[in-house]
Chain A
């Protein structure tokens, strides 16, 4: 009676050795670190990651690996996965983790008067914009636009950045419907993220983290995301066209912001980059306080705005199904 065949244990599975000793209750630390890091931590959002990091030293060490945050950045904002942006992120003090905490939070600009002399406008000769558009929390459009900020052309004209190339169209899963209510509901499921990256200063800021949707009712084919913070507004306009079988395609996108010219906008951007960041909780608490203070004056408007903000700023992180899990498993014999 031979028992010759035993499936060879893969080298990485030190845990199977444990099994032989009888049934021990498995703790997460019995898993191979690679498994925890690549396949479990990669599916967590940032607040859960923070909690996991505080449970024990082993998980703490794993959570603080660059890969975990690089992965989280990529899945949260696919635009940041482009090689150029990735390189810039790597130069941040704590790499992707610094970038994430800069961009996931809500900026609170430093409150100095515009044109303040301590601002060095030459500090940011170039800015990178990472733009993502989401429908039902799934990314449908990701673009990276770089712009110089020193030329007369930039400084004199009002700030305006085109997201798409001329005549470019990007298909979306959105279907045009003649039912106005349904169309409204569909448009409300769009969300935009606009991250400004200052490569030299190693900072980033998300200008659209508490934006609301305002759109032209006439055609309803242009969606406008607007965000007003610290008195400075910024907006992203996205234009759609309807093609065959009602499919809606993004045919244009424009970013604009406060400032009568690029120079003024640059000051606003630098103040946002240098300013503090608030978590969503901190922000909404402060917002509620300010709302109470201003009640009576523009009460109903703020209530509506507050509702929109809460609705839109649901901090969903989209974790894509990791197709490389599959390929790794196949090749890791």
Chain B
């Protein structure tokens, strides 16, 4: 077992190597199981692959490292408050490209906190937006015919299409 090891190396789906501390890796259930199963001592050269691309994995690891101390020890309210602020800042990433990758990665790695945060961010991004704004933010292709579009207009007189 790996009690002596403080950080492990993992590979992204692009084949890049990343270091992640053991305490941070414990935030993810599958990673945690892997820690228990696999030998991570110095003489073991096995490098596990995480099926998440590098750009996303950087952010996921950043999140884990930030949240690990609190998850492992439990923290005061002021810490929780500060962490919340950090989360908001953290989610101000270039959403259009990476938010859904983060969401999928959090789902795949069973990270409840991050998953919740990503879903909430996605919902918040949609709130109060017009139809075309939502399409733009989330790269949604309009696949309605003009008749369907007209029908939608009638169905939702209150919603703004511009």
Contacts and interface: CB of A to CB of B under 8 A. Distances in A.
Given A5-B38, A31-B100, A35-B103, A56 B135 contact: yes
B43 to A, nearest CB: 13
B123 to A, nearest CB: 4
A59 B110 contact: no
Contacts of B72: none
Nearest to A12: B107
A136 to B, nearest CB: 19
A219 interface: no
Contacts of A217: none
Nearest to A6: B49
A325 B104 CA distance: 14
A22 B131 CA distance: 29
Count chain A CB atoms within 10 A of each CB in B108, B115, B128, B157 and give the residue with the most. Answer: B108
A189 interface: no
Count chain B CB atoms within 10 A of each CB in A29, A54, A321 and give the residue with the most. Answer: A54
Contact of B97 (A15, A25, A60): A25
Interface in A316-333: 321, 325-326, 329-330, 333
B88 interface: no
Contacts, number: 170
Interface string A1-20: 11111111110110110011
Nearest to A16: B51
Contacts of A19: 13, 51-53, 56, 101, 104
Interface residues of A, number: 54
A216 interface: no
Contact of B51 (A2, A7, A52, A59): A7
Nearest to B156: A50
Interface residues of B, number: 64
B144 to A, nearest CB: 7
Interface stretch (A40-48, A148-156, A190-198, A257-265): A40-48
Nearest to A327: B112
Contacts of A45: 127
Contact of A51 (B47, B50, B130): B130
B127 A329 contact: no
Interface string B44-63: 01111111110110000000
Nearest to B101: A26
A279 interface: yes
Contacts of A9: 51, 108
Interface of B: 11, 13-14, 29-31, 34, 37-38, 45-53, 55-56, 96-101, 103-104, 107-110, 112, 115-116, 119-120, 122-124, 126-131, 134-135, 138-144, 148-149, 152, 156-161
Given A3-B46, A8-B30, A27-B139, 15 more contacts: A5-B37, A13-B104, A16-B104, A19-B104, A26-B104, A28-B100, A35-B103, A43-B124, A51-B129, A51-B156, A54-B161, A56-B141, A325-B112, A326-B112, A330-B112
16 contacts: A3-B49, A5-B34, A5-B38, A6-B50, A8-B30, A10-B108, A25-B97, A26-B104, A27-B138, A28-B122, A28-B138, A39-B115, A43-B123, A48-B127, A50-B156, A51-B131
